[in-house]
Chain A
Amino acid sequence: MKSTEAGTGRSLSAGSRLQMAYRVFKGAFFFGRKGLVIWDSWEMWVMQIFITPIAQMGFFAFLSVYLRYPLSETQFIVIGNALQAMSFSAVFAVANITSQDKWQGTLPSTMVTPANRVALFIGRAWFQVLLSALIAAAGLLYAATIFGVSFANADYLGIAAVVMLTAIAMTTFGLLISAVGLYMRTALIVANVFLFVTLLLSGVNFPVSVLPGWLQPVSWAIPLTYGTEAVREAIAGTSLLGLLPLLGWEALDALLVMVAGYAVFAGFESLARRTGRFEEY
């Protein structure tokens, strides 16, 4: 379908298309913050930034202490869980966007707008990217203060790069899941499962190499797997330059996920238009 200026029927130039996409993005950015009811309460912030990360880090750290693992293993677990803590905001909350659209019955009205879809959904997800990065940073702070992980040799620039890239990459994963969720009655189940699957598959609590061989490719499809490895290296002192190969793979992975998400979404939109149903899935 060709984009046309409303009312004139005239095709848009590339420049004004971009401008319009920007406007949609800007509008959606603020919607992303305001529209998500779950971020409306301060309790939710407390829970996501303090309670859940600390509790989860504590659970697995205590378990490793109980099993008499050496300190280095416990720290491995603590750092992994610190980064994984962002999954809720990056994956679950992002998937929640489409779910809420469906519940509130606003999906058709979103779908009938000529707004650029990519701009719309990425605009909504941006807030989650920032929040995810913040949560991971908070997790690393707990690792240093509560769980005694040493940051003496840490390369902070490297850590910042890993956290930011992982937040973006995991949010694209959230978008993919929300696109898949369009076909189902709710995306939240998938998102919920995914929230926990990363604990097992993404090198959060033990290296990927421990997993059965057939599972390992799945691990490397999830951006977080690169992130946990890279953040541990950065804390151990590897410079940003040294991290580049890992980060490059993570970026490539995120790009593939994004393309897949867009394809799924476009497919759904055309299916929904053919059948005239938006809300039954």
Chain B
Amino acid sequence: MVTMDEVTPGKMTEGYLAKRVQVLKASAFLTSKLFFADPQWLIPNIIAPFIFTLVAFFLFQGQTSGPDFLLYLVLGSGLMGMWGTTIYASANSIGFDRWNGTMESTLAAPMPLSWIALGRVLFNTLQGVLTAVFILVIGLAWFRTGFAIVNPPAFLLASVATFLSLSFFGLLMTTVLLLSRKGGFITNSMEIPVYIATGTMFPVILLPIVYLPFSFLLAPTWGIDAIRLAALPGYVGLPTTYWEDIAIMVVETVAYMALAFFLFRRVEAYAKRIGTLEEY
């Protein structure tokens, strides 16, 4: 039996970055544990994009054929899955602590809330990638099509960049949810509009002109275009080149990041002023 006196004395991690990386890892790890303890929420994230894809497939079937269209379709549904999961899961990343009753314990930690939230969002986006891969595999099997990619390294780069941009977009969404109890509905109602706005299933050029600024402000719009440019032969999308897409996405993602960290500070200051975040 160990007594209190025999417990190893505490020692803190040194270094600005080391501490933050530690928090990031811990938060992502806990989120994964919580996810695997109750993975049922994966279902709606997969079902909605997958059924949208099936509907699209029946519509495509009447009008066109060929492996390029199928790949276009399957890529689009994968991206919808990634989007859906990211938006949904970010909504629940810190929101989860609110209804789990761990908000105070989380806020009491000597570490900015943004880093804790970022850890969660990173895992959630990773889960989005898994959703996307899952939908891709099912889609490829269902439609019995191959997966020949024009430029694999470019495809990989665009995918990773889109992943990161989604993560920071998710972080931004988390602040919205922390500031408003009804943020969940905001993110819910965003789901289909962002599928449209980012060109997951059809080019954004088709949209009414008033919609386009919103489209162009969403970094994944450029990411999706870059991914398709790298994957599909003869793809005609936005008037930008692959590298222009990547550059615009990076700039917008950095802006998301800055805005998210700024808003997190505000959230924390607000929480301290009112004494809690549990009620909001």
Contacts and interface: CB of A to CB of B under 8 A. Distances in A.
Q: CB–CB under 8 A between A and B in the complex?
A: yes
B55 A60 contact: yes
A187 to B, nearest CB: 12
A63 B48 contact: no
Interface in B30-89: 40, 43-44, 47-48, 51-52, 54-56, 58-64
B168 interface: no
A67 B62 CA distance: 9
B206 A199 contact: no
A205 B182 contact: no
A193 B44 contact: yes
B26 interface: no
A27 to B, nearest CB: 28
Given A41-B182, A185-B40, A200-B54, A63 B201 contact: yes
A63 B51 contact: no
Nearest to A48: B189
Given A44-B185, A189-B43, A193-B47, A63 B56 contact: yes
Interface residues of B, number: 31
Interface string A206-220: 100011000000000
A115 to B, nearest CB: 30
A30 interface: no
B202 interface: yes
B153 interface: no
Given A60-B55, A193-B47, A66 B193 contact: no
B195 interface: yes
Contact of A196 (B48, B60, B201, B202): B48
Contact of A43 (B60, B63, B186, B193): B186
A189 B192 contact: no
B207 interface: yes
A186 B182 CA distance: 22
Contacts of A192: 43-44, 47-48
Given A44-B185, A52-B192, A197 B51 contact: yes
Nearest to B205: A66
A199 B189 contact: no
B145 interface: no
B40 A186 contact: yes
Contact of B202 (A52, A63, A199, A200): A63
Nearest to B44: A192
Contacts of B62: 67, 69, 206, 210
A116 interface: no
* Minimum-distance CB pairs A-B, first 9: A66-B202, A55-B192, A47-B189, A196-B51, A67-B63, A51-B189, A192-B44, A43-B185, A43-B182
Given A47-B188, A58-B192, 11 more contacts: A59-B52, A59-B196, A65-B206, A66-B206, A67-B59, A67-B63, A189-B40, A189-B44, A196-B48, A206-B55, A210-B61
